[in-house]
Amino acid sequence: MLFSEIVSKLSDNIQAHSLTPNPEVNPEITGVAAIDEATNGTITYVEGAKFASLVNSTDASALILPLDEKLHTQATERGIAWLATPEPRLLFAQAIALFYQPYQPTPEIHPSAVIDPTAKIGNDVYIGAHVVISPGAEIGNGVIIHPNVVIYPDAKIGDRTTLHANCTIHERTQIGADCVIHSGAVIGAEGFGFVPTRTGWLKMEQSGYTVLEDGVEIGCNSAVDRPAVGETRIGKNTKIDNLVQIGHGCQIGSGCAIAGQAGMAGGVKVGNRVILAGQSGIANQVTIGDGAIASAQTGIHSDVAPGEIVSGSPAIPHKLYLKVSAVYSRLPDIYQTFKQLQRQLRKN
């Protein structure tokens, strides 16, 4: 694909490009790459002036650059085609899609699939080998169900949703349209509900529902539990990484991003556009406000206000956490100073 074709296809988000002053620099682009691994024939991106030195060393044939004239000049002087946008990483994601599309199987039902006669199957559905679809389940149009998926009774899968191999959808789970459930994920399994008695733990049956709204993605080996009553709900377009635990009765808003090994106990309420970094943990019944951010390994034990950034365990405001972290490495010296002061006071 010529560079000019890429410019044409991505023109909605491009504010400038090198073809205007240098139309003769129009290389053939055969793929995409990271800037430090780019080779001749690839296109890559630079997010800001911090990476300016890589523009002088990359072997890429084309660059996606921010709106920085110095970077444009650097690329031009090296004879590298470039295009400029306010959001280089976003445009790079769109460029990847020009060269790669995920495997899309042809609609069919494998003869080894076990489908209950009461299940409803939509049009243009792919059902792979050894899939099990239980009584009362409903599968929408254009759904892709890869091998070994198990769908329990009365579950509902929305149009164009993809269920990757070996994921499990438990009873009465409701999954919206255009969702992606990755391998090994378990949606709608029993929440961790046990009541202590004098003779041991009494199991509280988990009779509630799990609801995933449209556009939700769940990573590999993550779990979203159903509650004893009511529902666990994940809002529209929320993205959840691998190895994430969503406890029973949690309410997660739309447009959130939850990174790997994060976990939340039951009854947590997460607002819209919240970001939870890796290994962050949220205690029972905590509320996280819209637009809040928790950095990696944050332990959240109390409510977080909308827009607040928190770090540490227990969580504190991020700016305070940075100050505390700066002091942490100096603690041995501070302690020695303290001991010297103690000795001096005893002498006096």
**Burial class of 19 by CB neighbour count within 10 A (0 to 12, 13 to 18, 19+):** middle
- 146 is annotated as an active-site residue: no
Q: Looking at 17, 110, 248, 318, which residue is catalytic? A: 248
Contact criterion met (CB below 8 Å) for 191 and 227: yes
Question: CB under 8 Å to 54, separation ≥6 — which residues?
Answer: 35, 36, 46
Coil, helix or strand at residue 318? helix
CA 7 to chain centre: 28
72 CB-contact burial (10 Å; exposed 0-12 / middle 13-18 / buried 19+): buried
The tokens for 152 are 């329990």
Yes or no: say if 203 and 197 are a contact pair by the CB < 8 Å rule.
no
Amino acid at 196: P
User: Helices H, strands E: what count in the chain?
Assistant: 6, 38
3-state secondary structure of 62: strand
Residue type, 92: F
Provide the Cα torsion 21, 27, 31, 32; round to 10°. -30
Q: Which residues contact 24 (CB under 8 A, 6 or more apart)?
A: none
Catalytic residues: 248
